[in-house]
A = this chain, B = another copy of it.
């Protein structure tokens, strides 16, 4: 894992939904732009399942980030206007405390002794980071997929601390199909003998199981159409192998192998378990939102037509429930063939929507 460029915010004793406590917590974060004197121009960007704090290049890390083209001068999250913060989630493996971190009680990596966390706990830790920066109110919390579920969680837990939330390609709760895909990924990791009940740090990691979990994930991130456009039935070697275990026959198979094998170099298998579980546990409903606490809280929800992992009906449901609750909430469904990956790839149209949404918010 390349861990460069981020800063670490550390604090003690994070009380969790499970009633357990994490004694020492590090939250890795990066920033872009400048915080104004009133500390009124801060936007928190929340990452998706396998993301990290490196949303875009900055002084500390010149490599492209996962939302590179969305953040910068003149971009959706305009660094000439806004102070952008992105932190690695609690439970993650890119600088923040998670199952691969050292448990101060044992001086060994937590492994499965790390407590099971929720998106509420993840947001709780983010709030402490934002407090530490002296920011009383975020102009916006914005993310896609699991990032957007954190935006919703912010609106539920800290409605007075945010002026708006951008919720892209998400759901108010995981459907059984979404839980099912996560569970198969978890089972694949736990089936790998190298997983060893989560005690693999310092020895061989469960790379095969984690790679298979990621392969399943990648199928769900793309669409039937985008796979057809990208691979069709093209062969790797121009003829069928009539064989197993050698090179894959189809390009799509080779792509999945490549994606799986790349992923294991940057991601921790136990973090996969913990973060997918946090997503599956996540559930907010209309009753969880308290309009009185911030009647001016604004929402922008976006969905993509070809996203079958977080289908548009789930985003429509978010907007409908928020509107019925009395919020200023808008919904926009965008055309794209990229499936769930659209929120990472469809830059221009999202930038237009986000700029239009953020602009009137700034004093």
A-side interface residues toward B, CB under 8 Å?
A: 18, 20, 112, 115-116, 173-177, 179-181, 183-184, 186-188, 190-193, 197-198, 208-209, 211-212, 215-216, 218-219, 222, 224, 227-228, 230-233, 240-245, 248-253, 256-257, 273, 277, 280-281, 283, 308, 311
Contact = CB atoms under 8 A, between A and B. Distances in A.
A277 B245 CA distance: 12
A57 B222 CA distance: 42
A186 B227 contact: no
B176 A228 contact: yes
A130 to B, nearest CB: 26
Nearest to A191: B208
Nearest to A250: B179
A116 B209 CA distance: 26
Given A233-B283, A283-B233, A177 B224 contact: yes
Nearest 5 Cβ contacts at the A-B interface: A176-B252, A116-B242, A176-B227, A176-B231, A18-B242
A119 to B, nearest CB: 13
A311 B306 CA distance: 14
Contacts of A251: 176
Contact of A233 (B176, B181, B215, B233): B176
A256 to B, nearest CB: 6
Nearest to A178: B224
